[in-house]
């Protein structure tokens, strides 16, 4: 299966083709293109919304053929090593998901790790800072986007992590990193411009999605539904597959 190499400030970056869209420019955002195909969840039509499930790995998991995140483990060790409380991590993950959900017609629901669309864990073999691996449906045809089948996000347990900005750029904020990697997991690449959460560089300038991020995700999934129709992403309850102490 084709996979994508998508590091967050982790060495050389892969350059992808860009599909221009009327709602943004190349400097605003860049859609993820693999093998000449744009990728998205839900119906393979630009502007069509999607419901995406997610989970934290609850045991060691291996993904045969993956280019990134080949093997992941629960994030327990990452949190313990960085003195991040489990509830605080859940709140940061919920905020990262809610950020994307609030600006486009894409919603997130918890699921079991075995069946979840997006799985989050810690790298078994530490590399870089954070990566996302995506798999899409190769059987689909036509000129439209290809349907995503699975995205795996992995954090490097050997690196330092924190909650919030403090000016120390050698220790990454979990919410910002998760929001960035979720962007990859739903079909966005690093833009040419620098004023976006999807920028490849970590700089602690903002913790919310920027105009380019929003233009990119709405080009793929359309405008958001009214707030009353959106599912609540709980930050005080354990999602399936979360940390068990």
pTM, 2 dp: 0.86
Q: Which residue has the higher pLDDT, 240 or 29?
A: 29
Band of pLDDT at residue 140, cut at 50, 70 and 90 = confident
Q: Is the four-CA dihedral 168, 179, 26, 7 of positive or negative sign?
A: positive
Give the pLDDT score at 229: 66
pLDDT digits (tens, 9 = 90+) for 68-104: 999 999 999 999 999 999 999 999 999 999 999 999 9
Q: Mean of the per-residue pLDDT values for the chain?
A: 86
Rounded distance, CA 79 to CA 75, Å? 6
- The residue that leads in pLDDT, 217 or 14, is 217
Q: So what's the pLDDT on residue 231? A: 65
Which domains are present in the chain?
6-224 (3.40.390.10)
pLDDT at residue 135, rounded to an integer: 95
Confidence at residue 235, expressed as pLDDT on a 0 to 100 scale: 62
| CA atoms of 98 and 81, how far apart (whole Å) | 26
Q: What is the pLDDT of residues 150-199, one digit of tens each?
A: 999 999 999 999 999 999 999 999 999 999 999 999 999 999 888 999 99
Comparing CA positions, the residue from 195, 230, 228 lying closest to residue 104 is 230
pLDDT-derived band at 56 (thresholds 50, 70, 90) equals very high
């Amino acid at each position: 299966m084709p996979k994508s190499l998508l590091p967050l400030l982790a060495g050389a970056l892969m350059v992808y083709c860009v599909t221009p869209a009327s709602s943004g420019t190349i400097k605003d955002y860049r859609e993820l293109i693999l093998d000449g195909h744009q990728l998205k969840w839900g119906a393979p039509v630009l502007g069509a919304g999607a419901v995406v499930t997610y989970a934290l790995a609850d045991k060691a998991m291996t993904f045969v053929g993956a280019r990134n995140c080949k093997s992941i483990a629960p994030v327990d060790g990452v949190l313990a090593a960085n003195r991040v409380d489990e509830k605080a991590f859940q709140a940061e993950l919920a905020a990262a998901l809610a950020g994307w959900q609030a600006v486009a017609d894409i919603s997130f629901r918890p699921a079991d790790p075995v069946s979840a669309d997006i799985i989050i864990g810690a790298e078994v073999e530490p590399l870089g800072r954070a990566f996302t691996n995506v798999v899409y449906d190769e059987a689909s045809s036509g000129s439209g986007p290809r349907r995503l089948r699975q995205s795996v996000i992995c954090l490097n347990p050997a690196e330092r992590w924190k909650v919030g900005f403090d000016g120390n750029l050698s220790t990454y904020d979990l919410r910002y990193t998760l929001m960035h990697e979720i962007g990859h997991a739903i079909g966005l690449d690093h833009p040419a411009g620098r004023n976006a959460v999807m920028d490849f560089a970590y700089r602690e300038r903002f913790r919310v999605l920027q105009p380019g991020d929003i233009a990119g995700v709405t080009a793929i999934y359309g405008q958001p539904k009214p707030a009353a129709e959106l599912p609540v992403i709980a930050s005080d309850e354990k999602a399936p597959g979360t940390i068990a102490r």
